[in-house]
Structure 1
Amino acid sequence: MLRRLGWYARRLAVMERGEIRHRIHEQIARRAARRENGGWVQFAMPGARPVPLPLFAPLLTGDLSAPVAAQLAIAAEAFRSGKLRLLNRDWPQTILDGAGSVAPEVWTLDPVSGTSWPGADVSAFDIDFRFEGGHRDVKYVAEANRLHFLAAPAIHARHTEDATLAHAVLGSLFSWMRANPPGRGVNWYSGIEAGYRLASLASIVTALDPWIDGAAGEKLASFVAAHGTWLARFPSLFSSANNHLVAEAMGLVLAARLLPDHPHATGWLTQGRGHLDGRTCALFHEDGVGQEQSPAYAAFTLEMLLIGFAAIGADAPSPAARERLGKAAAALNAFLDDEGHVPLIGDDDQSRVLLAHGSAEPRYAASICAATAGFLQRPELAPAIRDPHWRDIVFAAPPPGPAPSDGTTTFPQGGYTIRRGDIAGRRVHFTFDHGPLGFGALAAHGHADALSVWLSLDGRPVLVDAGTYLYHSEGENRRRFRVTAVHNTLTISGASQSEPSGPFNWMPRRARARLEKGADSVPLDVSGSHDGYRKRFGVIHRRDIAETAYGFDITDRLTGATPDGEVEIVFLLAPDLVVTAHDGRVTARRDGRAEITLAAPEGACVEIIRGDDISGRGFHSPGFGVLEEAATVLFRAPANAMRWRSSIVLNPVT
């Protein structure tokens, strides 16, 4: 109870007056919804059926490329065999019933604990997953209930004219409806999940239209009507108006297009379109960087926007939103290294709207850049390398573009400087963070990583982020993976620049970072600062980065009062690197070959930490729910020295 009250108090602390009024009205509406249990019949539309969407029609005409056809076949075979793997986790048993469709009990199953979340006997608003006593992460059950794993088998069924597979997929939708009546159970707790389901349903019913008879059509129409009504009734506004509102807007547009004769279709379309246009400019800085300060979330948000705008049709988006989409794709391209991967910055829960097979898609951001290039008909935005995916067909993605130009790119509003090119005979992709904590009052998916650095060499990660790991089920680990101590920057006496106040909240006093000096120049010469230590220690942290012939010199300075205690300058190395220290120098080797050497500041102590459960250091999470041991290098020195210089020395390939 105390945890719950504390969470609400901290949440209220960042709300403006208008949001407080909105939350009061929202709670009144939720209280009314708790008493409702009318089932699907209250959304029945006799004689109606969802309309196949032109958005997905290109998937059904002509031959598929061999890689995409194989992708769909693998997904179909996994479904037929009853196997489900999402978020790096295998569901513990066959998911199918005797008829070959997903069994109803699967929809509430937590695959980690093997227990079930509350279902149809409980209102969605009576399930407080944030303070769930069983230490389960609701993200897992939510992922399966997005229904996106059914889309690829449905498309495969259409191409192979496999009626048995088609009916098994349709049966799975009806199984979901039996287990999840409107407003009941864990799977109605969040609008983002409802928006996702409508995207999945839209692709499925378009693919399986030949097998949808009148009775099936009426059932699916009630599915769409219930979801559209729910999304319009409970929008994520004010401090919640991040990617959640984009998903809801996408869902409203899809509901309107799937059921154009529904009495509220015009209102859904108007509401959804307004939010899509508005959120495009709100969630991406003027320079194109995602305001949630996470390349993964930028890609995920772009995918939802593309689906929503494509469903609206030829006159969408607005000119301002169209321009911002182009800038967003260009910025995301800049984060891609030579192998088409983005660094893990901020949260990454591996969310994808259009799913191929499983959640793993290492070049997801590159695929979304290509999709945006196709949607905008701007082939110059296509990345140089990406993996084939059926979304390429949906958005008419152009062929791979040229390799990005070498040089330095600075995003002044988004707060990143990226250096790409050759240094010491190595292909370098180096990122420096001098940007804000995250989006809006919550900054829900940002990390306290101001002035951090990331590095890949020859397309392979070297200096990495700790990652995300889990959301709700690991309270202390959720905090540890967000605070400054696990990021590649400087800490004072273990303090974090910004302090979390919940899984997706921060205390009001937050670090404000800024670019002090920098230009799109080669060699790199950039400086940034933040004030996250001013309140507690009376200092500003400034970091200067200068490119050298052999790598980078990093100078950290504190200005202001002379603090007590120690500073720690942190570098987290990729898990596959073997890390050793000798005489103030740390060498990281991969496959027996030295990749980089880190030179400690004069007089600093050197420590290497691996897998420390107490501090949370020495871990890297490459994907949701995955934890790997890695080497955290600490350079520790007295804080009153006020200035320290470290060096990153790149080892040439011999």
Structure 2
Amino acid sequence: MRMPDAIGASETDWQAASHLPAPDRMGTLRWRFNRLRCMTAAEIGHRLGDLARIQAERLLLPLARQVPAPDLSCAPTTWIHVAQDVSVAPYLAAAERLVLGKFDVFALKGIDLGSPPRWNRDPKTGVEAPLSFGMLLDYRDPQLVGDIKYLWEPNRHLHLVTLAQAFALSGEARYLNVIERHLESWFAACPPGLGPNWSSALEAALRLINWSLAWQLIGGIDSPLFQGIVGERFRLSWLGSIHRHVQFVREHFSLYSSANNHLIGEAAGLFIAAVTWPYWPHAQTWRTTAQTMLEQEARLQNAPDGVNREQAVYYQQFELDLLLLPLLAGRANGVNFSTTYRSRIEAMLEYLASIMDVGGNVPMIGDADDGVVANLAHDEKFCRYRSLLATGAVLFGRSELKTKASTLDDKTRWLLGADAAAVFRSLPVAHDRLPVRRTFPDGGYYILGRDFEGKNEIRLIADAGPLGYQSIAAHGHADALAFTLSVGGLEFLIDPGTYAYHTQGLWRAYFRGTAAHNTVRVDGCDQSEPGGNFMWLTKAKAGCRLWRSSAYQDVFEGWHDGYMRLADPVMHSRRITLDKTGRRIVIEDILRMAGTHDIELFFHCSERCRLLAVGDNYALRQGDLSILLKLPQAQGATIQLRRGSVAPIGGWVSHRFDVKQPAPTLRWMARLTGTTVLRSEIIC
């Protein structure tokens, strides 16, 4: 076996790669053709009808109907609470940065957007999007709008919640003045129906959620902000925009193959708007429509075992927020959700608790874009997954969730009020009942390990799940039979994450491709065939044919058929055996094939790992911990160590959207003929 070729790091950060790609008209046509291929006849009919309605909206926009006068005599119950026992300083510091116009937007930290910002401008590229009719604006075109993720993020108005929290904690009116100035500026810069901020129903819905939180924290209908004639006029303007947002969301639900987390977000925004502002006669209809949709989609989009069907851990927590907030808003106002709805949320929390290692690490399976539903906490040390578990512990009285959360976070205090701390303290510690579960057959995840929740923990998560949700599987990665491994609460073998969405096609293709996961690639092809940034034309089917666990051994065996589409079909099976006594993991990859194929096997290491060659093997070290990786033996096999390579791309990890850093990756490769078994070992 030939020893490694080291490929040096040559990281490019976003500034070096922020130039806009040239227009790709053929690519656009190809995307549209591929998108049609993923639709049923019924969906195509719906889309055509929807396009006709949108064209009619555009023509009638100058004649848009007036907003009905609100009846302010209704008195909804506030469902967000001013948190007790929190450190005020971080909230005031965050608000002061916003007063100065300093924002954090993905990779851009402390960027000066102005106060108020230029709402239709992408802060990353400087592109100013046109104020054309929003629903016909191609927000996928970077020449037209820049990077739409960067443009949309400030327009979700998370920062208004921060300013409202600062006011609630300090009573200083100047934070109210900034809220008023920013909203008035937004109303002027983003006329109803025009521009990029009226091109997505999800973005409008998330804006409604954050407006609801800010509205409540500044005092609701009787806020000092609304005092006097000028204040009343501003309140009426804000309510008018709220009503238009609600109508926009109701008219543009994400349906059919687009009915993923977007639809849950849209229903959540509509429900919260109906509960927060019940000032119009049809608010009851809004609420009923939204609740029915939430009940249905919570079941459809999340499997009974608690795994979100997008097969993306980030979207698991994103949807949990979108399901929890309506539950809390409804409960405060006498609107109850079903037992099934609550149970599905609880199962989703159990899954997060089970895949989190003793160090609090959660594998980055599937897509992640770092977007936030409601930014209520300003403690960077406390991760959003632990926060959800803390909220779940109090809400459902679950000691296992408390144990995984470890402490009560600020966000839970804002959501659940003064009693949250006492309830959290009353729950016992439950190390003996963790992991909550180890098999998730609907989602396709299986947890092998020993010494759970202790300093000697081994936690391996094997993936034999579907590619993603609906026909496009938008947020899934080609990662069948991949696995992650943490030892003693430290990540050793990882899923490298996502990094890019719309504007960096090569990086998008790499991070969601098979080569970016700890699995086998055949003939340089992804297991599933991509058809665009959020679409797959062929989807590998995967499954688990064996799971067995005892005090001495865990055994998982899975399969996928992604390479059966090749001219000479290849069936890939993987058997992972953990010998608990010997702390040894054996990985056997069985490739059933007749002809000759180029076979690659990838091991993606944490950026914190140091790799040392030990004969034909590799030691992976972090601090005092070390594991030994033994790669397969095969005639003519070679090994490359990639770290920060750009030609070809390899050896990267992305913990945050649009931010990447070099990480060591071992690439084993050989040209093999006929059915073959490749055996790798890991000694922990």
The TM-score normalised by the length of structure 2 is 0.87
Evaluate the alpha carbon distance shift between residue 126 and residue 23 of structure 1 in structure 2; reply closer, same or farther with a 3 A threshold: closer
- 1:275 corresponds to: 293
1:93 aligns with 2:125: no
Evaluate the alpha carbon distance shift between residue 642 and residue 534 of structure 1 in structure 2; reply closer, same or farther with a 3 A threshold: same
1:337 aligns with 2:349: no
1:540 aligns with 2:607: no
Aligned residue type for 1:8: R
1:402 aligns with 2:433: no
1:440 aligns with 2:478: no
- 1:14 corresponds to: 38
- What residue ranges of structure 1 are gaps of 5+ in the alignment? 97-101
Taking the TM superposition and a 5 Å limit, the aligned residue runs for 1:233-632 are 233-313=251-331, 314-356=334-376, 363-382=383-402, 383-385=404-406, 388-395=409-416, 398-399=423-424, 402-403=430-431, 405=433, 409-422=438-451, 426-507=456-537, 509-522=538-551, 523-536=553-566, 537-548=568-579, 549-559=582-592, 561-591=593-623, 593=624, 595-603=626-634, 604-632=637-665
Aligned residue type for 1:93: D
Q: CA deviation at 1:40?
A: 9.1
1:173 aligns with 2:183: yes
RMSD of Structure 2 on Structure 1 (CA): 2.4
Q: CA deviation at 1:419?
A: 2.9
Equivalent residues of 2:376, 2:411 under 8 A apart = yes
Q: CA deviation at 1:379?
A: 4.9
Q: CA deviation at 1:367?
A: 1.1
Secondary structure of 2:659 counterpart? coil
Evaluate the alpha carbon distance shift between residue 376 and residue 176 of structure 1 in structure 2; reply closer, same or farther with a 3 A threshold: farther
- 2:156 corresponds to: 146
Give the counterpart of 1:223 among 241, 245, 250.
Answer: 241
Evaluate the alpha carbon distance shift between residue 46 and residue 249 of structure 1 in structure 2; reply closer, same or farther with a 3 A threshold: closer
Q: CA deviation at 1:623?
A: 0.6
Aligned residue type for 1:416: Y
Equivalent residues of 2:70, 2:280 under 8 A apart = no
Q: CA deviation at 1:218?
A: 0.6
Secondary structure of 1:365 counterpart? helix
Q: CA deviation at 1:521?
A: 3.8
Evaluate the alpha carbon distance shift between residue 88 and residue 389 of structure 1 in structure 2; reply closer, same or farther with a 3 A threshold: farther
- Count residues in correspondence: 633
Evaluate the alpha carbon distance shift between residue 635 and residue 362 of structure 1 in structure 2; reply closer, same or farther with a 3 A threshold: farther
Give the counterpart of 2:66 among 42, 64, 88.
Answer: 42
Secondary structure of 2:600 counterpart? strand
Equivalent residues of 2:133, 2:193 under 8 A apart = yes
1:117 aligns with 2:129: yes
Equivalent residues of 1:48, 1:221 under 8 A apart = no
- 1:211 corresponds to: 224
Q: CA deviation at 1:170?
A: 2.4
- The 1-side partners of 2:339 and 2:681 are apart by 46
Q: CA deviation at 1:374?
A: 3.2
Aligned residue type for 1:29: R
Structure 1 window deviating more from structure 2 (534-543 vs 606-615): it is 606-615
Q: CA deviation at 1:115?
A: 2.8
Secondary structure of 2:509 counterpart? helix
Equivalent residues of 2:485, 2:494 under 8 A apart = yes
Secondary structure of 2:162 counterpart? helix
Equivalent residues of 2:142, 2:148 under 8 A apart = no
- 2:676 corresponds to: 642
Evaluate the alpha carbon distance shift between residue 18 and residue 40 of structure 1 in structure 2; reply closer, same or farther with a 3 A threshold: closer
Evaluate the alpha carbon distance shift between residue 280 and residue 630 of structure 1 in structure 2; reply closer, same or farther with a 3 A threshold: same
Equivalent residues of 2:125, 2:147 under 8 A apart = no
Equivalent residues of 2:449, 2:460 under 8 A apart = yes
* CA deviation profile, 1:468-523 (whole Å, cap 9, x unmatched): 1111011121111111111100111211110111111001x211110010035442
- 1:99 corresponds to: none
Aligned residue type for 1:117: A
Q: CA deviation at 1:258?
A: 2.7
- The 1-side partners of 2:124 and 2:349 are apart by 36
Aligned residue type for 1:198: L
Aligned residue type for 2:430: P
Secondary structure of 2:182 counterpart? helix
1:26 aligns with 2:47: no
Aligned residue type for 2:534: F
1:129 aligns with 2:129: no
- The 2-side partners of 1:360 and 1:39 are apart by 47
